[in-house]
Structure 1
């Protein structure tokens, strides 16, 4: 089944994803970049307390949330702007009773301030960045869309909480989008032949950022 778009810019559109998830059907799953097994050392080190609230941005039909749930992270809220995939995954994961699935735009979260301990983005921000043009000088629209996502992630995180972003995007392309006075940013590289990057943004007190 051909699910590739005619242009990479389609990755940023709701229409493309609705059509793709409809064609693939409810039994299909797909993980961008890395699986939970690959990322387990990162989660064990950065989020050892599995009792906190987790927000999965652009969950899609990835198995990441299911695998995390079965490993003890039970309080997971999954959001995606595709009604189709949210319905599919809600049915697929019906036995994971503490898991939540909501239709929502990552740039405008209908969620309370400081209500999550962990926010995860595995490739979702990359979809916002698929546009024609110069990758060294992205458009104002792209910059604004990414800014809104990161600002919303920051808003819903508790102090001490972490925003973990997994991507193939290299630091000289991605770091500028994540730098905030209220974030402490760390970057880790994983993989052998092909490198992936894990950006870990820890929310700090405003007093701490002023003191730095």
Structure 2
């Protein structure tokens, strides 16, 4: 299987990801920057190693294991692909026993309100937002993106943060991230090619 689909819209399809993870069962793939490139920012934004962290759309990224090995142990990883959740559970359950892996859709989180300190999205919203016309995304894509952010907001405790790493420029992303009672900060990462880090902090 070619890792890249024939249309970008397939990035938003569960069937594509199930098949991709079956094909790369022993592999890993990280969107955007590796942990060693962003660890200093993570340390700043998540100063407590006891923070309850939710990884939104974990895939087979090494981000969770790298953070775990950096003493962030209380990480809950979710993905709507049961294929990758099964693979990652088998890969990490013995070496990293505190970390958990759950099959779950980021648009419909089965967690209580205010149950996490941090939520991290590293490319998941981007996979859902792949319109043919970037200026006019499909209504379903808009609904899906808003649903993820609404759910992230709901499960964060007061003072909690959503950390979102993307290549998406503010003009195309702020509309999904703005909420009336949290603070949105935008940082540029990189030099020749910019990535963007959006930090949404829920008011106390």
When normalised by structure 1's length, the TM-score is 0.94
Residue aligning to 1:5: 5
- Name structure 1 gaps, 5 residues minimum: 206-212
Give, in whole Å, the separation in 2 of the partners of 1:33 and 1:168: 8
Aligned residues: 203
Query: Residue 128 of structure 2 corresponds to which residue in structure 1?
Result: 128
Report the alpha carbon displacement of residue 137 of structure 1 after superposing the two structures with TM. Answer: 2.3
- 2:153 corresponds to 1:154: yes
Deviation at 1:120, TM superposition (A): 0.1
Q: Which residue of 2 aligns with 1:144?
A: 143
Structure 1 residue 196 corresponds to structure 2 residue 195: yes
The Cα shift of 1:88 comes to: 0.4
Give 1:47 shift: 1.0
Structure 2 matches for 1:77-96, cutoff 5 A?
A: 77-94=76-93, 95-96=95-96
**Residue 171 (str. 1) matches residue 170 (str. 2):** yes
The CA distance in 1 between the partners of 2:15 and 2:131, in whole Å, is 16
SS, match of residue 74 in structure 1? coil
Deviation of 1:139 after TM superposition, in Å, equals 2.2
Rounded to whole Å, the distance in 1 between the matches of 2:105 and 2:10 is 16
Q: Deviations over 1:139-169 (max 9, x none)?
A: 2211111110000000000000100000000
Partner of 1:114: 114
Deviation at 1:192, TM superposition (A): 1.6
- CA distance in 1 between counterparts of 2:2 and 2:108 reads 31
SS in 1 for 2:77: strand
Moved more, 137-146 or 172-181: 137-146
Q: How far, CA to CA, are the matches of 1:19 and 1:131 in structure 2?
A: 22
1:181 corresponding residue in structure 2: 180
1:130, distance to aligned residue in structure 2 (A): 1.1
SS at match of 1:78: strand
Structure 2 unaligned spans of 5+: none
Task: Output the aligned Cα RMSD.
Answer: 0.9
Partner Cα distance (1:85, 1:190) in 2: 29
Residues 95-147 of structure 1: per-residue CA shift (max 9 Å, x gap): 10100000000000001110000000000000110132x21222221111111
